[in-house]
Structure 1
Amino acid sequence: MTELFTPGAFEDSGGGPLYLQLQRLIAGAIASGQLKPGASLPSERELAAMTGLSRVTVRKGVAELVATGQLVQRRGSGTFVAPRVERLEQALSLLTSFTEDMERRGKTVESRWIARGLHAPAPEEVMALGLRTDDRVARLERVRSSDGVPLAIERASLPRDVLPDPMAVTDSLYAMLESLGQRPVRAVQRISAANLDPRDAELLGVGAGVAGLRIERISYLPSGKVVEFTRSLYRGDAYDFAVELKLAPDGERKPE
């Protein structure tokens, strides 16, 4: 570590602003394996003393790497090299739960519960689930992890007559719904880009403002009843979503 952060590393006057030189130095050390995932960086004060840079310059260089997800800052603990995250390809043609998807890949699944309970529905839940304003809604909020790496924040809302006891959900929500005879058979899903706010970024172990994917799913029973309204945030560095496209039958094609 001491060989990496020396004043001599910043003597190239043509290397651009000093904070960018520091940023490139740390990024290069991460890419080469000199700084390994989970490694702790010296404090801002220590880095400034080791490199001869100002604390403002050090702070800006480190902040850029936190913003791109290469470094992670934990309050009260310091700055660390972010863990390497395997990119996962998720097919959009299959209606599966996070647990089922990870288990199919041979990965372990963990949940960190943030909240579970019955509540008065918010206006968007009334609309999405077809509820009355005096109904109750079951809400589940948790961080979903695989092999110890947090990948998604899942916020699910379900009518109380579908899930009367949200505390009964321990692992897979869909496994619980199947045991109740309430598993959805189809869903409409919308995906959009999002920049993670500080709270969600901290839950996912990444820097505030990094790219994520917002996924909204409304799921239906065979009867057509809405059974689930879920809003999830996925790490943008961990997921690729794929869908198979087919040419429309001849009778459905429109001439250009």
Structure 2
Amino acid sequence: MSLDETVFSPDGLAEGSSTPLYLRLQERIRNAIEAGDLRPSDALPGERDIAQAMSVSRVTVRKALSGLVSAGLLEQRQGSGTFVARKPPMVEQPLSRLTSFSEDMRLRGLETTSRWLQREVSLCSTKESIHLALSPQDKVCRLRRLRFAGGVPMAIELATIPHKYLGDPEAVRTSLYAVLEAAGFKPVRALQRLSAANLTGSDAALLDVPAGSAVLSIERVSYLATNQPVEFTRSFYRGDTYDFVAELNLGQD
């Protein structure tokens, strides 16, 4: 990338301020991102080029860029360099409708993809047996995947289905609900619990956010028309991509 002289110039950077130089450089780059002079996915020049253009040390540049990476404004790709972070799509999700992730994103015109992290058949855990009304000897299918919308990682999802409703976890390619509906086990209602959580390092890496980032933790149990539980799902949704909305009515005395 060629140097943008309006961003990477020494003018005004070192004059009359007690603020550390790396913080002033951070502010210069941050303002350029907010003003649109540096756009999502734009590549930044190399550390050496920035240091020479702005008459600062590479240590100063490295420290400034590191702070912006931690803040989520920049991202560093191994072997490729430093880029302005892609802005994830904002999704407004109503709490009154039971839909799949694939359907939610399709309705918003976003292409969905998944990376499978786990697909297995195993004995149910204690927590799964309680939520799915199973005995400890019953088997379940576990489907854990990283969900993307528009190429951006949005959620980590672990769905557990009683084996009697889903015989082969490999049958799920995109939409779990589509597979269940085709088999005659379509969920018709669900109970959902939302809480706040902070991501561990491994989950944060999957969602491409700093470790400790705030997320929405969601547990959902979905039911068949016969009132039998058919799905127990635990998900982490990026806190910077989702707004959950509920319509409330004033109760009558």
TM-score where L is the length of structure 2: 0.87
Report the alpha carbon displacement of residue 150 of structure 1 after superposing the two structures with TM: 2.1
Work out whether 1:108 is the aligned partner of 2:81. no
**Hey, what does 1:140 align to over in structure 2?**
143
Partners in 1 of 2:115 and 2:87 — Cα distance? 20
What amino acid does structure 2 have at the position aligned with 1:232? S
Choose from 113, 129, 133 the match for 1:130: 133
Q: Does 1:24 align with 2:31?
A: no
User: How many angstroms apart in 2 are the aligned matches of 1:15 and 1:87?
Assistant: 38
SS at the partner of 2:65? helix
Shift of 1:166: 0.6
8 Å Cα contact 2:158/2:233 also seen in 1: yes
1:5-20 pair list within 5 angstroms: 5-14=8-17, 16-20=19-23
Counterpart contact for 1:71–1:207, Cα < 8 Å: no
Q: Distance in 1 between matches of 2:98 and 2:199?
A: 25
The CA distance in 2 between the partners of 1:91 and 1:168, in whole Å, is: 28
Alpha-carbon separation, structure 2, partners of 1:130 and 1:199: 31
Q: CA-atom RMSD, angstroms?
A: 2.3
Q: Residue 152 in 1 paired to residue 159 in 2?
A: no
SS at match of 1:175: helix
Question: 1:146 Cα deviation (Å)?
Answer: 1.9
1:138 deviates by 0.7
- Once the two structures are superposed, the pairs formed by residues 32-181 of structure 1 within 5 Å of their partners are 32-44=35-47, 47-54=50-57, 57-181=60-184
In terms of mean alpha carbon deviation, does 1-10 or 173-182 score higher? 1-10
CA contact (8 A) 1:15 1:21 kept: no
Gaps of 5+ in 1: 251-256
Deviates more, 1:49-58 or 1:81-90: 49-58
Aligned to 2:188: 185
Q: 1:219 aligns with which of 194, 206, 222?
A: 222
Structure 1: which amino acid aligns with 2:215? G
Structure 2: stretches of 5+ with no match in the other structure:
none
What is the aligned length? 250
